[in-house]
Amino acid sequence: GENVEQHPSTLSVQEGDSAVIKCTYSDSASNYFPWYKQELGKRPQLIIDIRSNVGEKKDQRIAVTLNKTAKHFSLHITETQPEDSAVYFCAAEDNTDKLIFGTGTRLQVFP
Amino acid sequence: DAGITQSPRHKVTETGTPVTLRCHQTENHRYMYWYRQDPGHGLRLIHYSYGVKDTDKGEVSDGYSVSRSKTEDFLLTLESATSSQTSVYFCAISGSDTQYFGPGTRLTVL
């Protein structure tokens, strides 16, 4: 079945710097890759997603890239702000339409 | 947030007691899911439903059962709670592939 690995597990950056979180997946048939942000004590919230027919998608300071050949996708956050501090989860949809999640990245943005 | 509620939001129970968590949606979405979230493990699927009375097992289904008698409600039952089931439980709904999460239930089994 699908397996998703996420790195790094923790990431600390200075405010204004960029942050990159990477995920790899195992099932070449996967075609939907969402990213969720979870603030402390809150529910995971979808922040961006990408489908396999595109290589990159942007939404203001957030972008996701997908390399289907290498089976990896990445989240890029530019001009980080303290409110970007949270845990970020990647996921891949398996061949039975279920999401398989990575183990999460704790991002800390220091002023 | 999508129209998803979970009840109770917090519960403390003792080992061996039955526990039922409820997920309620107002979006009329077909798919509903139960996940548990534990440190170092991310979100792991317990059970899911693709329609009324249609359910299937996820990755960590042992010790859990579910029921869906109406489109809007998805119940998760721990028949005999154990300490290893102490966790935060999230319900999610989906109309296609995008999943939206409920606020979560923090369950502590003593």
Rounded Cα gap, residues B106 and A95, in angstroms:
30
pLDDT digits (tens, 9 = 90+) for B70-87: 999 999 999 999 999 999
What b-and-e string marks burial along B56-70, b requiring 16 or more CB atoms within 10 Å of the CB?
eebbbbeebebebee
Minimal C-alpha gap between B51 and chain A (Å): 14
The answer to whether residue A43 scores a pLDDT higher than 90 is yes
CB contact under 8 Å between A104 and B99, yes or no, is no
Residue with tokens 């942050």: A19
The answer to whether residue B1 scores a pLDDT higher than 80 is no
What pLDDT shows up at residue B2? 65
Radius of gyration of chain A (CA): 13
What pLDDT shows up at residue A12? 98
Question: Out of A6, A43, A99, whose CB is closest to B104?
Answer: A43
pLDDT digits (tens, 9 = 90+) for A52-91: 888 999 999 999 999 999 999 999 999 999 999 999 999 9
What pLDDT shows up at residue A95? 82
As beta bridge partners, residue B95 has: none
